[in-house]
Amino acid sequence: MFTSIRWKFIIVYFLLVFMAMVIVGVFIVQRFEAQQLNNRVNTMIKQIESIISTSSYLSEDNWSLVYKEIQKTLNEWRFDGSETLYVIHDENIPKIIASSHSNYEKIRGQNALVYLDPTLILDAYRGEKSPRITKDANENTTFQHLAYPVLNEVGQVKGVLYMTSDLQDVYKTIDDSKKILTSATMLALGITVVLGFLIASSITEPIRDVTKKAERMAKGDFDQFVEVKSDDEMGQLASMFNYLTLKLKDTIQEMDLEKSKLDTIFNYMADGVIAVDVKGHIIHANPIAIDILDLEQTMNEEFTHNKVFAMDKINIKNIDYQDLYSLEGDEIVEIKNIVYRIKYAPFRNEKNNIGGIIIVFQDITEQHKLDNMRKEFVANVSHELKTPITTIKSYTETLMDYGDIDEELSKKFLYVIDNECDRMARIVRDLLQLSNLDYNKTKWHKVNCTLEKLIKDVCLKLEFSFKEKNQELNLNIEEKLPSIVIDKDGIEQVILNIVSNAIKYTPNNGRINVSAKYFDDNNIIITVEDNGIGIPKEDKNRIFERFYRVDKGRSRDLGGTGLGLSIAKQIVEAHGGEIKLKSEYNVGTEVEIVLPITTSL
């Protein structure tokens, strides 16, 4: 209870008022007591001086001679019942010669130094007026004692008037004053507690209201507003709390929006991203990274069992958090037959210390593949051109160096040179055609064309090749195939290339089937099937690559450039069609050309 600011405020307020009242009370009581005692002493002095001035007998030098008259004067004087006067005369030993005491006869002649306070008497005989308060232990009363010296004409002390006054009434008054002050203090403290409670409540209630609203805000409910009841500091606090609530809501909304953007970007970005702390634990990973590293099953294990992610799994081995240079870099790694460029860099936590590293997986499989294809393409072009150039150069040098070569041999050399030149021309022509296809520079001359006639014309052009290898040609063209809009020369080149390949790679006495039919309501399919040598399984996926040959030596001997199928594929795709290849090694090959049925130019 006392940990509450309300009670702390009340207790502090109570203690302040209590201390103030105590200090003021003590000061007042002390001053009042000193004043009362001083008044009593002054009253006693005035009374003694009145007696001295009134009684002629006290003016005598020898009081012993007139002690009866002095006693009579004292008897006639009206003393307060609390006051007693003693007349002391010095005859070597100060004695009491008269007194206002009721039993003055018994004490007359007594040694004053024994009966009364000797110090005051001796001080009085030295000319000092010395008051003193003494307490009677037997009667439990307090008296004010005053020794007043009486001087003769030459200024010598001839006697002492010693008066005592009972201070019971004074201390009773003082005690009553203490009780009054105590009661006033208790009343003031009671009022203080009540007022302190009310004042503290007026201060703490808004604070408690703010605290409750802040607690609800801490739990996620930001629709909290505090009622502003005043223009003082508490009202300013409430206003600032409401302003803070509005700003916090706006900030959180902005943060949620930014977080949503970042989460969306993070989850849907094409690259894989993971965050690893300094202990090697994965603290975050997007779906791409989870799929790349097969983390979907192990993510829970990473978080619950704190298993360390193996950096060497992705070819990162030199991570040293004390060496900033080792925290940035990139690696090339192959995971599940996919090539990734891995880039990593450190991130910092809220204390600006390095909290771990961010690793990004960038799929560069196509880029890597294209780079390899480029290198292979350059090597193939160099090789394809180098062979005829070398042949041409060697035959030319022979003709130049040996002038006595007979005419028939020279014609053979020139024939070889002419063939190699034609071969280079074909390579260059095919490369130019591929370049035009790649950059969409080919101008198509589309016309309505009947596929039946086009296929028969191709077969007619290759009739000599069929007969040369004694191969069987079977044509199966579906009746009433519609005319379609195509570039006749382009499609003829495709069919010619496919059928030529079938002739080349089918042994003597082999069989080649060429057919055309409806594939569905929107397409026509042209199929070229042979029972030739076929294509090995590992080569089928690369058969349409440029300069790729299954049997390089044999293909080159047969006069191919390795670009025919690449050109055929691009021509068909430029017509909106598709070319498919099915093959089994040592069994045969089947090529399907699917062309859309289009009737408008």
| pLDDT for 474 | 92
CATH no., domain 368-438: 1.10.287.130
Sign of the dihedral defined by the CA atoms of residues 212, 216, 219, 222, in that order = negative
Q: In which band, very low, low, confident or very high, does the pLDDT at 304 lie, cut at 50, 70 and 90?
A: very low
Please state which CATH class domain 446-596 belongs to: alpha beta
pLDDT at 369 over 80: no
Kind and range of the H or E element at 335? strand 329-335
Dihedral-angle region of residue 547 (phi above 0 means left; psi in -120 to 50 means alpha; beta otherwise): left
pLDDT in tens, 409-447: 888 888 888 888 887 787 777 777 777 777 777 788 888
Q: What is the CATH number of domain 61-166?
A: 3.30.450.20
Query: Coil, strand, or helix at residue 52?
Result: helix
Given a cut of 60, whether residue 305 has pLDDT beyond it is no
Which has more confidence, 296 or 26? 26
For 442-478, give the DSSP string.
Answer: ----EEEE-HHHHHHHHHHHTHHHHHHTT-EEEEEE-
Average pLDDT score over the chain: 80
Contact in structure between 170 and 36 (CB atoms under 8 Å):
yes
Instruction: List, for residues 511-567, the tens digit of each pLDDT value.
Output: 999 999 988 878 899 999 999 888 888 888 878 877 776 655 444 455 556 777 888
Whole-structure pTM over 0.75, yes or no? Answer: no
269-363 fold: Beta-Lactamase (3.30.450)
Q: Mind spelling out the 3-state secondary structure of 158-217?
A: EEEEEEEEECHHHHHHHHHHHHHHHHHHHHHHHHHHHHHHHHHHHHHHHHHHHHHHHHHH
pLDDT at 526: 92
Least confident interval from 144-148, 197-201, 343-347:
197-201
DSSP, collapsed to helix, strand or coil, labels residue 497 as helix
Q: How far is CA 436 from the centre of its chain?
A: 55
